[in-house]
Structure 1
């Protein structure tokens, strides 16, 4: 250590005495570093957590091996809330990745590689606590062991192997994760043959996103390659997830608030989903169904060429087609859906190589003027997404508060996820002794309809859905219409109206007709069904309408919903919400809504002839759904 001083101000002996005293104090601190007092942790050791001394003491009694503590991101808080409400075994936010490896796998070396990566990345050693705290916290533990289970199915018939693997996947999903003990990850290895293995990796979405899974797997296979070659891994020091938490705490939301208030101005009701029924009370509407389709190589190449030629991305194209699909079914020219954004700040060093949960779900608002030229419309949509990138860290709950949407309504019911981290193309590439194939992933969100896009030689579109709310047939139809709209965007159509018209082209009309003919005819029986059958016959020109028939399968158009509502008002004196036609598209289903609405209005009136708001019975009001209350207010607006 060197001391520099001004000889005109200080004597040498004075500086020597100060230096000697400094060294003595330093030695005293070093000598006492092993004492209980020196080992005592204080809130200052965890500056991001804002813990009181008492809260820290309680936490350390429960987790003596604490390495770090910090708060959750806004998305993690939202996930924690949904997990707390979800029934046990629901699988919500449980992520699974499975793949088959062929070759002379060295399982001890692979297990050691996983342990090395978990030691490198704090988020893989993290648990979550919230009981007795002013805010939820994530706790990083000094050491954890990866739960690792091996199953030997060698000699078992192939069909029995497949059944057992499928059962393991389901058992793993139902088992879920408890959030308090770390780690929130585990691995199962199934040996199918002497040189064939099926791996099942699962983790809770709270700890990382899809991009992070790719980063983590690159590290695992790099470590594995080093170990089987008898050397230590030469990986750079990992970027710390806590740096992102610190970055978030430095951000001001003032500009984000101004952006979102302008973006969502005038938006007052969520865009209705096509064919999705409202959840019945007490029904667990878990997102467990999924329908997929792949575009042809030629269609995918056409999309890519169009995107390059017009300086837009595939993500923008798929968002544009999804917006057109929602607008077409809802009969609206202004729609909002959710989209998952990467959330990795460009001004945070090494953010792309961090392992953690950066993604966010934010609203995408799209205007659909029919006469808008296609290419400029897509380019404006992309420019808006680039502007949104500055505010990807915005907490969704606050964005909702900055909108004009009434309390209790979601900003969006559908979510679009563009997966720019296709694992099946890179998993284990170049790893000695391991040929990776048959990669499958499964995740379970909490939106009734989740649209996925996976790029590749053949673009994959899929829709995850809650079977309790929407049928597989309806989802398959939506998926096909999404494909048609996507391909129509790049077909040379000049205006949005030309693109939208193709969703009801000859091929789809023929498919709808055959689908309608395949439905067993059940004659309308109730007065409500008979009245609706007459309305549909008049509007659709169909000679015979059955109770199980679907309005849209019979040729109904989204914009005709207003006509249905008006005819029901004239014929039955019931004010339906316009979304009822989309949420209950069958004749019997819509008749049930009419019956329910009729009964609700009767319960609400003290005098059977009165429809004034002043006559409402508060006890009866408590029995109504939000949909029924909204319709009642519409019916009574302007009266009295």
Structure 2
């Protein structure tokens, strides 16, 4: 459903318009998704809260209280539009009518009533909310008995964040009890004040900070399948796991004792799991931040969408104690707090592809409602269920309480169902390990055990017949079948077709297998960019090995360190780069354009059929590391395929 672009006046009649506001960065993103995903399907960012209402409720009085809330908070009267120029704006109406529906199920049996309640709730969630029509929320009050009701609030995420709901409920209770009187409430801090604060921030300083934070992160961190599904083919699935009260208490004590936040501990543990899923030691994922600036008076009680999504980068060193890793993570978070206002699109544009991710962690650090001990015979509101989703293939929600809850939401078309079902338990188990021994080295934390290890390392992304689906060699093979004669590579006056590239890489794979290269081995490649280099790299993959690219301009000391660390089965170079390979390297050196080797390659037969999975390492990139010593980052075939696909 596209936001209207022209004729904004048609949305406003006479003096109905009160104000015109810009959008926050996240609102811009959500409006884009509303436009992009338009149609009759449910909007991904439809948010729903089901509240239990206990006590002698006056439905008309409750409806009036909600109408007062709409009048009190301008942000609740917003609709979203695009000017003819493409600029997005939100129009704040002077008055809006509250969409209110009632249903009475009190004459039904308990089973029948709850069956019908579930149907009504699902129907409300399935009905799209038009961003161009205010208000972007509606209410359904269901009567189950004389003193028992359910209140279903369905809204668009562009309007409110999770923090705002308990604030609204506190005010709702006060207004209801006062029969519509708001005089006892604090003055409203308008969302417009926050938008003005955003406009005053130093965006260039923020871009520089994020660019520095993500420097050296060269590739996206991806866990989803490389092939996106058709829109709307499957709804997200949510699974929840609760930690024990003892583990939750121990986590809280661990954080408090070491000057950490519980959010930091959870983020660090998710980084450990994500590293195993992606086959990387330098991972980036998304996280939501509250976005309520302490220097803005009244921000903590304001209503609107203040949150922002920002990247979190965690570099993992297997020898580093988990506690130290967590401390460094919190140090980075603290340093970046003044820059968390910058929109994700701006961050990714400034920092490059390394700021791209497809997993999101949401820590629900919301204020608690103020009515902990209500007076007898009064109306009380309590949350029964809350549902929301994101466009990310995999989202982790953390709800701290007496028993910390882990919510895993995944899109079955993008994330393996077995993994999605198991992930909550995996996270809970790693949290328990960290509580048990926070001084354990990162590399010794058992993330995947038993069947889970097989699922991630072998089965994830494979077809039923056991042949990996969509890895780069298979993608190239498909192109060869379709476009064998088409030009694949060009170097000056020389070119290779897809068929010729496939044949050349097959000879390299056959040759490497003949000199002892096996699945999982490392092959160091010391060559300059050329069509021959591409044939060698593809040949290494077809032999089942992983390549380790070595910069031919590196000092000999660095080359020696890289080769000593990766322990290659073979070093492949050209006559032009032979001098870069240190003498006495200790393994076979293959000079691919040396006459004897050229002759041997010419008579090599078909490439061996070596089956590799998405979890097998495709290549190992060496960075300088924080100490200047080269550090290898292993990238699995699944991630490589995601980048190509």
Query: Do Structure 1 and Structure 2 share a fold, with TM-score over 0.5?
Result: yes
Matched, 1:265 2:143: no
Q: What per-residue deviation string (whole Å, max 9, x for no partner) do you get for residues 309-354 of structure 1? A: 1111110110000000011222211000000001111222211111
Partner of 2:255: 307
The 3 A distance-change label for structure 1 pair 557 and 71 is closer
Most deviating of 204-213 and 245-254: 245-254
Most deviating of 108-117 and 356-365: 108-117
Partner of 1:486: 431
Partner of 2:538: 635
C-alpha separation in 2, matches of 1:320 and 1:62: 52
- Partner of 1:457, secondary structure, is coil
C-alpha separation in 2, matches of 1:198 and 1:497: 46
8 Å contact from structure 1 (residues 279, 285) kept in 2: no
The 3 A distance-change label for structure 1 pair 499 and 162 is farther
**Normalized per residue, which structure has more helix?**
1
8 Å contact from structure 1 (residues 288, 467) kept in 2: yes
C-alpha separation in 2, matches of 1:356 and 1:289: 27
Matched, 1:367 2:319: no
Q: CA deviation at 1:60?
A: 7.7
- Partner of 2:249, secondary structure, is helix
Partner of 1:566: none
Partner of 1:602: 481
Partner of 1:434: 379
C-alpha separation in 1, matches of 2:48 and 2:535: 45
- Equivalent of 1:353 in 301, 317, 322: 301
The 3 A distance-change label for structure 1 pair 280 and 557 is closer
Most deviating of 63-72 and 254-263: 63-72
**Normalized per residue, which structure has more strand?**
2
C-alpha separation in 2, matches of 1:452 and 1:328: 19
Q: CA deviation at 1:132?
A: 2.0
The 3 A distance-change label for structure 1 pair 370 and 135 is same
The 3 A distance-change label for structure 1 pair 63 and 278 is farther
The 3 A distance-change label for structure 1 pair 323 and 171 is same
The 3 A distance-change label for structure 1 pair 186 and 57 is closer
- Partner of 1:278, secondary structure, is coil
- RMSD (CA atoms): 3.1
Matched, 1:76 2:22: no
Q: What per-residue deviation string (whole Å, max 9, x for no partner) do you get for residues 40-87 of structure 1? A: xxxxxxxxxxxxxxx998468656411000111111111111111114
- Equivalent of 2:392 in 422, 447, 451: 447
Partner of 1:116: 68
Q: CA deviation at 1:466?
A: 0.7
C-alpha separation in 1, matches of 2:90 and 2:536: 45
8 Å contact from structure 1 (residues 300, 459) kept in 2: yes
The 3 A distance-change label for structure 1 pair 490 and 155 is same
- Equivalent of 2:151 in 199, 203, 215: 199
C-alpha separation in 1, matches of 2:144 and 2:278: 49
C-alpha separation in 2, matches of 1:149 and 1:248: 37
C-alpha separation in 1, matches of 2:140 and 2:373: 17
Q: What per-residue deviation string (whole Å, max 9, x for no partner) do you get for residues 465-521 of structure 1? A: 112222443212222111111121121242333552x224xxx42xx2xxxxxxxxx
Matched, 1:255 2:205: yes
8 Å contact from structure 2 (residues 77, 92) kept in 1: yes
C-alpha separation in 2, matches of 1:607 and 1:115: 66
Q: CA deviation at 1:281?
A: 5.1
Partner of 2:244: 296
Q: What per-residue deviation string (whole Å, max 9, x for no partner) do you get for residues 514-544 of structure 1? A: xxxxxxxxxxxxxxxxxxxxxxxxxxxxxxx
Task: Give the alignment's TM-score, normalised by structure 1.
Answer: 0.72
Matched, 1:376 2:360: no
Q: CA deviation at 1:400?
A: 0.6
The 3 A distance-change label for structure 1 pair 109 and 588 is same
- Equivalent of 2:113 in 140, 144, 161: 161
C-alpha separation in 2, matches of 1:174 and 1:428: 35
Matched, 1:186 2:138: yes
8 Å contact from structure 1 (residues 370, 495) kept in 2: no
The 3 A distance-change label for structure 1 pair 183 and 634 is farther
Q: CA deviation at 1:166?
A: 1.3
Size of the aligned set, in residue pairs, is: 499
Matched, 1:590 2:534: no
C-alpha separation in 1, matches of 2:320 and 2:30: 38
Mapping of 1:498-537 within 5 angstroms? 499-500=444-445, 502-504=446-448, 508-509=449-450, 512=451
The 3 A distance-change label for structure 1 pair 268 and 431 is farther
- Equivalent of 2:36 in 85, 106, 125: 85
- Partner of 2:98, secondary structure, is coil
Matched, 1:223 2:167: no
The 3 A distance-change label for structure 1 pair 223 and 270 is same
8 Å contact from structure 1 (residues 188, 201) kept in 2: yes
Unpaired runs of 5+ residues, structure 2, are 1-5, 499-533, 540-548, 550-572, 574-591, 594-645
Partner of 2:351: 403
The 3 A distance-change label for structure 1 pair 299 and 453 is same
Most deviating of 297-306 and 344-353: 344-353
C-alpha separation in 1, matches of 2:220 and 2:190: 38
